Amino acid sequence: MSINFLDQLNEAQRAAVTCTEGASLIVAGAGSGKTRVLTYRIAYLLQQGVPASRIMALTFTNKAAREMKERIRKLVGDEARYLMMGTFHSVCVRLIRPYADLLGFTRDFSIYDTPDQKSVIKAICKERGLDEKIYKGTAVLARISMAKNSGISPDAYGMNQQLLREDREARMYELATVYALYQARLKAANAMDFDDLLINMIRLMDLSAEVKERYQQQFQYVLVDEYQDTNYIQFVLVRKLAEPQNNICVVGDDAQSIYSFRGADIRNILNFRQVYPNAKLFKLERNYRSTQTIVNAANSLIHKNIHQIEKTVYSENDEGQPLNVQAYMDDRTEALGVATKIQRMRHKGYDSFAVLYRTNAQSRVIENELRKLNIPYRIYGGTSFYQRKEIKDALGYLRLAVNRRDNEALLRIVGFPGRGIGETTMKKVSENAIANHCAYLDVMRKPDETGLEVASGTKKKLQAFAQLIDGYAAQSDEMDAFSFAEMVMRTSGVMTALAVDRSTEGIDRAQNVQELLTAIHEFVDQRTKEGIDYTPITDFLSEVSLLTDQDDNLTDTTERVTLMTVHAAKGLEFPVVFIVGLEENLFPSQFAVKPSEIEEERRLLYVAITRAMEQCHLSFARQRFRNGSFSFASQSRFFNDIDRRFFSVQQSAVRSQTAPEIPAMPKIQSIPSIPITMSTPKTPVRQEQTPITSSWNAGDRVAHRVFGQGTVVRVYRDEVTENDKIEIHFDTQGTKTLLLTHAKLERV
C-alpha cells in the first residue's frame, strides 16, 4: 500500500479514480486506459480502508475479472482475493446458491449452456410435431433470450400482440407455447440458463426483503465494466444492488456499443445521468494505443452518429501512416492482396497482424490464400476446449452426480461408455418421466413404480446406471473437486473406454480428459491459496459453465495471423489491422435498415479501426461470390464518413481489362466520395473468359428457383476462379452470373 499508484495516471484518469462517492459515469474512449482506471479505482477504495467484501465489480468476461483482480493484488496485496468480482452471471450464481430454495431450486442446480438449451428445444418441438426447418434451435433461443432480457415472462409473451405478430410472420405460431414448456423443463431439471441467472437474482431480491437488504448492505460500492453492453435486465439488477447508497460507477464507451443483437441497449449509458441526476461525468479522451492518424480517422467516422456522448479522442503518439484503401476485382483477389501484404511485412512477426471481417463466412477465401503462401493463422472463436465432445461427456457425469434431475446431462452420458441402453429405451424413459412429472433418473431407478414398459433385462441396465449415479451423488459432498472427478472418471469407465482407442484421435481425446483433471486440480490449488479449505465439484462446474467466448481463445503461443469478426475483436489490439469487405449490404449489413441500425454498423467500423496501433488497411471487392454466384458490389457508404485527408488510396500496377471503374458512392454528410481505382496484388491474376462445351447454349430458356425464368447469354470458364460459369439474363432480375455446377437450372 506504500506505492503511490496515482502518480501513474493522467489528470482525467486520476479524477475518475479518486471520486468514489455517489454515482459516476466514466466515458472511456478507445485505447484510453479504461481497465487501468477501473483497476486503480478499486485499489484506491481498498487503500482508503473500504473492506474488499464491500466491493462488487461486474465484468463481461471471466478473463477480464481475473486480470483485474491480479493487477489489484499487485497494487494492494492479498486483500484483493476477497473482492466480489466476476461476470454478471458468475456473481449471480454465487449470490443465488445460498437461497436457491426460495426460488424453488436446490443449491446444486445446473447451468445449461447453448447446446443443452438447443437439445431441450429440439425435444419440445419434436414432441409437438413442429417443423424443425422453421423452429430452428438458434432462432427459437434467440426469441426466448430476447424476451428474457426484456423482462418478458412466458405468460406475458403469450399476451404480447407485437411479439405474437412477429412470430406469425416467421411462421412460428407456437413459440409462446415452446417458451412456456422450455421454462417448465428447466425447472423440472433443477436447471437455469444464462438469462435465468440474472432474472432469478432480481426475483430473489423481490421475493425476500431480507435477502435484498443483506446484499445491498454488503455491497457498498458497485462498479460495472463495459456498461454500454448491458441489457435491460442487467440495468435493473445493477440498480437494485446499488440502492440505497447509489455508490455506483459505470465505465464504458457509447461509441463501442455493438451488441444489440445480444440485447445490449445503448440507452443504458446514454441515459445514465437521467437515471442518476447527480452523477459525475468523467471523460477519458487520450488514446494510448494508436497513431494520431488512426485516431483522427476514427473520430471523423464516429462523429457522424447522432446519438452519442460528445467527446474528442486524441493521441499524442506519432502521426503515423494514412489508412490504406484498396479496391479489388473480387473477394479472391482481395484475399490474395491481404495475404501478399502480410507476407511482405512478415518481419514484424505474424502475431502483429489481424484480418477483421463482418461475417464468419468471409474467412474461407482468406484462409485459402494464407495457406497457399504458407502463412500460419488462427481463427479467433474456434471450438472451445470445454465444448469438445469428450470434455462435455466427462462433465456430464459430474453434472448428473450433483444434480440428479439434470436430464440433458443424463442423455449425453447414458450411452458412453456403452451400457446397452439405446435411443428407443431412452425415448420411453423420457415419455414416462414427462407423464409422471419426474426426472429421467427417477424412472430409471424405479421403472416398475412408474409403469415403464421395457424388457426385464433393460430394467436391470437402467437400475444399474441409476445406482452408479446415486453412489456418486452420495460422495460428491465428501470429496474435494479433484478427488471426486478423478474417482468418477476412473470408476465410470470413461478413462478405460478412451484408452482402448489407440488412434491419433482417440489418444487426443484421452489426453484431453486428463487435461480436464489437471484443470480441476489447478482450480482446487488456486482456491486453497485463496484461503478456501474445501472446494466442492459444484464450484468448478459453475466456473466452467460460465466461460465466455473470450475466455478460451488465443491460448496457442505459436506466432500466427489472427482472423476474426469485428465483434470478436472488441477489446483487442494489433500493430497492423486489415478490414476487408467494406461493401454496401455487407458492411453495413444488408439487415441494417433503420437509422439506429446504421449507427451501430458505424460504431462497429469504429471499433475495427481503433484495434489498429500502427497501420490500418481498408479494402472492398468489386464482385463477391455469394450464394453460388458472383454479384456486383459497391464500396461502403462509410468511406464517405471518414475524412479523406487520412486516406492513402493505393494505385495498381496491374489493371483489369474488363472490369469497369468503381463508381463513387453518393456524397454523404458533405464529404466527397473516394476516387478508388481497381487494383490487384503484385502477383498478376489473369481474368480470362474461355468458351466451353456445355449442355447449355446462348439463347436457351431456363428457370432458376430463386431468380425465375431467363435467357442464357453465354457459358464460359473463368480462369480467375477456375470454375465454369453461365451468364443469364433473367426476365425480372436482370443479368446474373452463376456457377454452372451450383446453378440447378431447368430447361423451359
Catalytically active residues are: 34-35, 225-226, 256, 611
Which cell goes with 595?
437509422
C-alpha 176/C-alpha 160 separation (Å) is 10
CA dihedral for 331, 335, 338, 344, sign (positive or negative): negative
Distance (Å, whole) CA 271 – CA 282 = 15
Q: What does the alpha-carbon distance between residue 28 and residue 10 come to, in Å, rounded to a whole number?
A: 13
Angstrom distance (rounded) from CA 33 to CA 11: 12
CB half-sphere exposure, 382, CA atoms < 13 A: 12
| Residue 715 φ/ψ region, left for φ over 0, alpha for ψ in the -120 to 50 degree band, beta for the rest | beta
Q: Are 421 and 465 in contact (CB under 8 A)?
A: yes
Cell (9 digits) for 473: 451423488
Q: What is the biggest distance separating any 2 CA atoms in the chain, rounded to whole angstroms?
A: 86
Pair type for strands 221-224 and 55-59: parallel
Strand partners, 323: 647
Distance in angstroms (rounded) separating the CA atoms of residues 47 and 501: 56
| Helices (H), ranges, 611-691 | none
What are 735's strand-pairing partners? 729
Closest CA to 308 of 659, 603, 8, 738: 603
Pick from 625, 626, 638, 702: nearest CA to 673: 638
Concatenated DSSP letters of 117-148: HHHHHHHHHHHTT--TTTS-HHHHHHHHHHHH
Where do runs of H (alpha helix) occur along 259-406?
A: 267-270, 272-275, 292-302, 331-344, 363-372, 389-402
C-alpha cell at 42: 478499486
Query: Nearest 5°: CA angle at 419, between 418 and 421?
Result: 105
Cα dihedral sign, 534-536-540-545: negative
Length of the chain, in residues: 748
Decide if 65 contacts 546 (C-beta within 8 A).
no
